[in-house]
Amino acid sequence: MITGKTVFKIFCWVAFIIYLVVLARLIFFETKIDNVTYRYLQISRGISIKINFKISNWVPGISTWAIINSNQGLPFILQNLVGNIVGFIPMGLLIAILFVRARSYKMMAIIGCATSAFIETTQLLAVRGYFDVDDIILNTTGVVTGYFLFCTLVVPLVRRLKISALLQ
């Protein structure tokens, strides 16, 4: 017999897989190095590393500062900074729903950091973008924010509706 909990878990797994496919497509097949960050990092060669003709940022804050100080306008800043956070919020939310043992801020930070570091390293090695430590920080913030939303919105809603079994 298929229960409501089973249907909910299947729905969440399908949503998670679709999310991962869309995320991979956006990260690996739509990545472009913006000229502002590229030029700024090229100027700071002493603290950045050039690999495979792509620029990598290993120092926290360098590319974020370059994006904020660019003359590209608010849409550019939102796309680059807020986009890195918002794009990873579903990961924190869905992981919290699917994996009971991952339900802590520490675990979410570890999962977010490890996932983002894997993505950044893959981009570096596959020459599909560049390694940016700021992206790891922003993406991890997104995963932890997703977990925060789970704790503050989903859990109280599930308790209010008396369907707590869905999250076990």
pLDDT of residue 137: 97
pLDDT of residue 26: 86
Reduced to 3 states, what is the DSSP secondary structure of residue 57?
A: strand
In 3D space, the residue among 49, 36, 46 whose CA is nearest the CA of residue 133 turns out to be 49
Mean pLDDT of 108-126: 91
pLDDT of residue 145: 98
* pLDDT tens-digit map of 29-66: 765 554 444 444 444 445 444 444 456 788 898 888 88
Mean pLDDT in the chain? Answer: 83
* pLDDT tens-digit map of 96-105: 999 999 999 9
pLDDT of residue 119: 92
pLDDT of residue 68: 85
**28 band by pLDDT with thresholds 50, 70 and 90:** confident
Residue 93, C-beta contacts closer than 8 angstroms, at least 6 positions apart: 146, 147, 149, 150, 154
pLDDT of residue 23: 92
Question: Which secondary-structure segment (H or E) carries 49?
Answer: strand 48-51
pLDDT of residue 35: 44
Amino acid sitting at position 1: M
Which residue in the block uniquely carries the two structure tokens 């680059």?
80
Mean pLDDT of 110-129: 88
| Cα-only R_g, the chain | 18
Burial class (CB in 10 A: 0-12, 13-18, 19+), 150: buried
pLDDT of residue 85: 95
Provide the 8-state DSSP code for 79: I
pLDDT of residue 129: 73
pLDDT of residue 67: 86
Dihedral, CA of residue 19, residue 166, residue 98 and residue 81, to nearest 10: 50
Q: Is the pLDDT of residue 111 over 70?
A: yes
Structure-token pair, residue 87: 């794009």
